[in-house]
Amino acid sequence: MRASPTRKLQLYVAAAAVGSVAGLALGLPQLVALAAPFAVYVAVGLVLTRRPELTVEVTVARRRALENEPVPGCVTLTARSAVDGLQLELALGAGVVVAGVPLSWPRRLAAGGLCEVEFELRASRWGAYDLGSLRARATDRFGLIRYELSGVTLGRLRALPSRETLRLLLAPLELQATTGSRTARDRGEGIEFAENRPFVSGDRLRRINWRVTARRGTPYVSERHPERNADVILFLDTFAEAEGTGGGGTLALAVRAATSLAAAYLARKDRVGAVGFGGTLIGVRPRLGLEQLYRIIDALLGSEVVFSYAHKDVSFVPRRMLPPKALIIGISPLLDDRYINALLDLRARGFDLTVVEVSPEPFAEAGAGRSGELAYRLWMLQREALRTRLRELGAPVARWRDDEPLQVPLAATSEVKRMLRRPLAG
């Protein structure tokens, strides 16, 4: 522990020095007598002072938590010698706050004493955070020397975006050839019944429906739908966002929507990937399993709007990130022309595209006066024209606002997708 003089020691030394010098210079022993107690106190205190032996350990219960979820922590203080005037200072990183009751600790620890100070931390927004560090201060029993122990780091915390429960998802128009939990429209080996048809040469005997055969007097076989899975690509817009006065914005909502969709599709045995398309490119190849969910979340935690004048199109995205027959879900406030052109390019290439519009309208207000109101109405009409254009190209748009569950626009858009049997060519 680093030692430094306290304000008390400085005042006592100054009083003893001034009294002694003034008494000797003026020939007044009374001043020397007044300064003597201060000098004796300092001398005895410095002789009897022993450096406290204090061990500080900080543990955090979890390194991953949801945003705004309290994370328990504990500070363990072990004193091998008596510690007086104990003070703890928690220097938290940006975006991290102490949740609940503030820290409380004893002012004195006896030799061999053990103390545990519990606390809770909370991250107000998803992201990767440096929790900060802890400082411990103590003084000797005379209050002359201050001892400080610093550099006890708390580590890092990854605050995951909160997820919504989605029961009805956007169904892909085409499925992959690999086995999954979705029922294909094709005929083949499977569980789901499709139809009965007359027996032809080459059919397997085990596929004969004996009840229908006995009723009609001629062999009939049962056709079934095979079980397949889908490739789902979450195409996140990181070109621009609309921010609110309270610190929220469309990017935070978009990451929450992407996390909820990834968890729901992976639970249905689909392969899910993610592409962050903006000033910087973020890509996660489509895979299966719970581990893939955390890969996507870790990639999304680094999402941020990076200002860039660069003109980017779909050619910047590696081909392995956009597999054929994939369902691409664009998640965007539809504010940047570069991202909008990328959506139109994807649709022109024949991809099954659906857009989840994270509405920026709650974060925008009409300007003052009649001209501001007219400009706002014109902006709203331009956005409606863009939605109409995407729908006409076969890319339904689900408008999502923060004041409603994500399931609401998804359910409405899934009804539209059911009427689209095949993706349009462009």
Instruction: Give residue-wise pLDDT tens across range 109-166.
Output: 788 878 888 888 888 888 788 888 888 888 877 778 887 877 788 888 888 888 888 8
Question: What is the Rg, in whole angstroms, of the alpha carbon atoms belonging to the chain?
Answer: 34
| CA distance linking residue 295 with residue 360, whole number of Å | 28
User: Which residue has better confidence, 32 or 236?
Assistant: 236
Instruction: Give the model's pLDDT for residue 344.
Output: 92
Instruction: Give the model's pLDDT for residue 241.
Output: 80
Instruction: Give the model's pLDDT for residue 426.
Output: 43
| CA distance linking residue 366 with residue 376, whole number of Å | 5
Q: Rounded mean pLDDT of 242-248?
A: 68
Instruction: Give the model's pLDDT for residue 2.
Output: 78
Helices 7-26, 29-48: axis angle to 10 degrees equals 150
Give the whole-number percent of the chain exceeding pLDDT 70.
90
For tokens 């207000």, the residue is 365
47-56 residues labelled b (16+ CB within 10 A) or e (exposed): eebeebebeb
| CA distance linking residue 185 with residue 195, whole number of Å | 12
Residue 105 has pLDDT above 70, yes or no: yes
Q: Is 130 exposed, middle or buried (0-12, 13-18, 19+ CB in 10 A)?
A: middle
Q: Evaluate if pTM is beyond 0.85.
A: no
Residue 20 has pLDDT above 80, yes or no: yes
Residue 234 has pLDDT above 90, yes or no: yes
Q: Is 369 helix (H, G, I), strand (E, B) or coil?
A: helix
Which among 425, 338, 334, 346 is positioned nearest to 388, based on CA atoms? 334
Residue 40 has pLDDT above 50, yes or no: yes
Cα 149-155-156 angle, rounded to 5 deg: 150
Q: Rounded mean pLDDT of 158-186?
A: 75
pLDDT (tens digit per residue) in 269-323: 888 999 988 877 888 899 988 889 988 888 888 766 555 555 677 878 888 888 8
Q: Rounded mean pLDDT of 230-246?
A: 82
pLDDT (tens digit per residue) in 323-339: 888 899 999 999 888 88
